């Protein structure tokens, strides 16, 4: 194992600001990978384990008066859910040789809490390494969408405290943070324009993922 990664499997993460539509594409991508004959496992963050889903319920609580998490506690809960998911689900799947598609991963904490909440990437990275045991994604697809487009896509029913309580500037920092992370590591990231028609977005992501798995070049 080097850089914390079991040698056989592949970890693909999906990232994006709120309303990027990535979750709608996640199951299609899993199915496209499975159609190539590989085991494909889809997980989501925060959640994906019984403990992780309970942590998710705290994190997504719209009644902030009952929870009142500090920013650091908030970041650590995302990390705790991630640690549980990695050890219980992701690593075992990678050790079997599966392709794991994760709807959000450590880069979400870097973009939201690090850039959005201004906790800082440098402070969060060591915590992230601890939580994941150093497990890094092989490929990350960023579904990029301008803030006003993303937030307009969210219905009232879907609105969590993330859309309800953070201002426009917070979301602008999240998006800019994602683009900075992607620019800093272009070998790992591909950026898909998520304002395109849904079928085109899915096709771009599908081509990138299948191309990567086939050992070919990536396509944005």
Determine, following the binding rule CB under 6 A, whether residue 104 of this chain makes contact with ligand TMP.
yes
Kindly tell me which residue out of 94, 112, 192, 206 binds ligand TMP, with binding defined by CB under 6 A.
112
Determine, following the binding rule CB under 6 A, whether residue 143 of this chain makes contact with ligand TMP.
no
**186, exposed or middle or buried, with CB in 10 Å at 0-12, 13-18, 19+?**
exposed
Q: Identify which range of 109-117, 141-149, 180-188, 212-220 contacts ligand TMP by CB under 6 A.
A: 109-117
Are 77 and 46 contacting, i.e. CB atoms less than 8 angstroms apart? Answer: yes
Nearer to ligand TMP, 39 or 64 (CB): 64
List, in sequence order, every residue forming a beta bridge with 101; answer none if it has no partner. Answer: 12, 42
List C-alpha distances in Å: 216 to 21, 124, 161, 208, 209: 26, 33, 40, 9, 10
Kindly tell me which residue out of 10, 18, 100, 137 binds ligand TMP, with binding defined by CB under 6 A.
18
Are 115 and 164 contacting, i.e. CB atoms less than 8 angstroms apart? Answer: no
Closest CA to 166 of 15, 16, 57, 18: 18
Q: Identify which range of 3-11, 106-114, 179-187, 192-200 contacts ligand TMP by CB under 6 A.
A: 106-114
Nearer to ligand TMP, 9 or 17 (CB): 17
Kindly tell me which residue out of 102, 108, 132, 140 binds ligand TMP, with binding defined by CB under 6 A.
108
Q: Identify which range of 26-34, 104-112, 177-185, 200-208 contacts ligand TMP by CB under 6 A.
A: 104-112
Instruction: Count the residues of the shown chain that bind ligand TMP, applying the rule CB under 6 A.
Output: 11
- Within 8 A by CB and 6+ apart from 210, the residues are 32, 33, 36
Kindly tell me which residue out of 162, 178, 189, 212 binds ligand TMP, with binding defined by CB under 6 A.
162
CA gap 199, 197 in Å, rounded: 6
Q: Identify which range of 1-9, 91-99, 108-116, 119-127 contacts ligand TMP by CB under 6 A.
A: 108-116
List, in sequence order, every residue forming a beta bridge with 106; answer none if it has no partner. Answer: none
Kindly tell me which residue out of 9, 46, 128, 177 binds ligand TMP, with binding defined by CB under 6 A.
46
CA gap 70, 163 in Å, rounded: 17
Kindly tell me which residue out of 29, 32, 41, 45 binds ligand TMP, with binding defined by CB under 6 A.
45
Phi (first) and psi of residue 5, to 5 degrees: -105, 125
Site residues, ligand TMP (CB under 6 A)? 18, 23, 45-46, 78, 104, 108-109, 112-113, 162
């Amino acid at each position: 194992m080097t850089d914390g990664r079991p040698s056989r499997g592949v970890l693909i993460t999906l990232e994006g600001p709120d309303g990027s539509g990535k979750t709608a594409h996640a199951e299609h991508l899993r199915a496209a990978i499975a159609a190539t004959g590989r085991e494909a496992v889809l997980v989501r963050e925060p959640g994906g384990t019984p403990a992780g889903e309970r942590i998710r319920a705290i994190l997504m609580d719209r009644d902030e008066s009952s929870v009142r998490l500090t920013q650091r506690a908030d970041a650590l809960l995302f990390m705790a859910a991630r640690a549980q998911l990695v050890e219980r689900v992701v690593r075992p799947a990678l050790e079997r040789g599966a392709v794991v598609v994760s709807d959000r991963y450590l880069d979400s904490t870097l973009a939201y809490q690090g850039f959005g909440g201004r906790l800082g990437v440098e402070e969060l990275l060591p915590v992230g390494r601890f939580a994941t045991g150093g497990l890094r994604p092989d490929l990350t697809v960023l579904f990029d969408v301008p803030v006003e487009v993303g937030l307009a896509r969210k219905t009232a029913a879907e609105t969590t405290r993330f859309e309800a309580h953070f201002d426009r500037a917070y979301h602008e920092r999240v998006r800019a943070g994602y683009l900075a992370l992607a620019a800093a590591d272009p070998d790992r990231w591909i950026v898909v324009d998520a304002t395109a028609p849904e079928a085109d977005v899915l096709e771009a992501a599908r081509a990138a993922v299948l191309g990567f798995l086939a050992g070919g070049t990536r396509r944005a």
